[in-house]
Amino acid sequence: MSASPAYIDLQVNGYGGVDFQLDAITPEAMRHACERLRADGVAGILATVVTEDLTLMANRLRRLVEFRERDPLVRDVVIGLHIEGPFISPHDGYRGAHPRDAVREADRDNMKRLLDAAGGLTRLVTLAPEMDPGMATTRLVAGQGIRVSAGHTNATMDQLHAAIDAGLSMFTHLGNGCPMLMHRHDNIIQRALSLSDRIWPMFIADGAHVTFPALRNYLKASDPARTIVVTDAVTPAGQGPGRFKFGRWDIVIGDDLTIRAPDGSHLIGSAMTMPQAVHRLVQHVGLTSEQATQLTATNPRNAIGFVDAAGNGRDHANGEPVAGARRGGRGVQVSVAPSANTPRPELGVSGSASPA
């Protein structure tokens, strides 16, 4: 176990065999997930509730709030909630694994319903700007000091600019939540990257959601002080190959730990842990361990205003670093990946990170 947990993961749907979308989840199961997260060096997560019937989503949010109130470990690990959907694109590819029948246009009343169910713990809301008429919901959420992130979207540049003006400030798992085949230039990935000086782009660094050469290019185009890596972990994270349940899906995890829809059309979250993400950033993308730590610990702290017991993080109220936040020039400085003979950098957890 890490002596000093460091990672902050802003998108965790389940972990260690536990599905946060399960209506029958128990306090013991939630504690088990948090024990596994802490053992993997994770200081805190945003427990994520994804697109479903609004009543089910509200109930799941309330349940997470209840677990947090009754268990100190869960309260320490679950530093907030991430509401991903249901106000996302209904179109295939952009919708990803989110159920079509639960997707809906954003409106303030339904957003308030979900925020109320979350009991003031919402730190991040993912929506598609084109599904938010007049950006009213974005303005509502951002006005409460909650980060709004674009995701599962095919917003135009005009829509993205309007959303940013209304308070949108992040982009969820950029490079995903979009079709495999798009226009080679005018696509949502290029539009978002062109705005990376105004938003915090988040990436899944497992090599499947974004291939490593593409991720290297995306990181070069992004501001190193505003770039974040998440796991988008679902039930099997940290478990290895096997059969699992996640939301409506019965999923099979192969030896490569990649979770795909049965027809192969899209991915369904990740089985990756944060130590594995750091290992892949170092070994396959070419980052130093310090750079990988910035993307998995420092930057996510700063983005959501989480200040830990040591005083590390950013005051979200004024956007200033509290400690440990480093600003620099444009682009993460990506070096050549270490050779097989190069000693592997310390990744901040005991033992060896699992290989890719």
0.95 exceeded by the pTM? no
Q: Tell me, letter by letter, the H, E, C secondary structure of 301-313.
A: HHHHCCCCCCCCE
Contact predicate 261/267, CB 8 Å: yes
Beta strand 249-253 with 242-246 is antiparallel
Burial of 92 (0-12, 13-18, 19+ CB in 10 A): exposed
Q: What is the mean pLDDT of residues 49-75?
A: 98
Please give the Cα distance from 189 to 335 (Å, whole number): 23
Q: pLDDT digit string (tens) for 163-183?
A: 999 999 999 999 887 777 888
CA distance 157 to 199: 13
- d(CA 213, CA 296) in angstroms, rounded, equals 19
Q: What letter does residue 338 receive in the DSSP assignment? A: P
Burial of 182 from C-beta contacts in 10 A (0-12 / 13-18 / 19+): middle
Percent of the chain with pLDDT over 90: 67
d(CA 241, CA 235): 12
**Which residues, 6 or more positions from 40, have their beta carbon under 8 angstroms from its beta carbon?**
2, 7, 238, 273, 274, 275, 349
The domains of the chain, with CATH numbers, are: 7-323 (3.20.20.140)
Residues making up the chain, counted from first to last: 356
Q: What is the residue-wise DSSP string for 269-286?
A: EE---HHHHHHHIIIII-
Range of lowest pLDDT (34-43, 200-209, 280-289, 301-310): 301-310
Q: How confident is the model at residue 253 (pLDDT cuts 50, 70, 90)?
A: confident
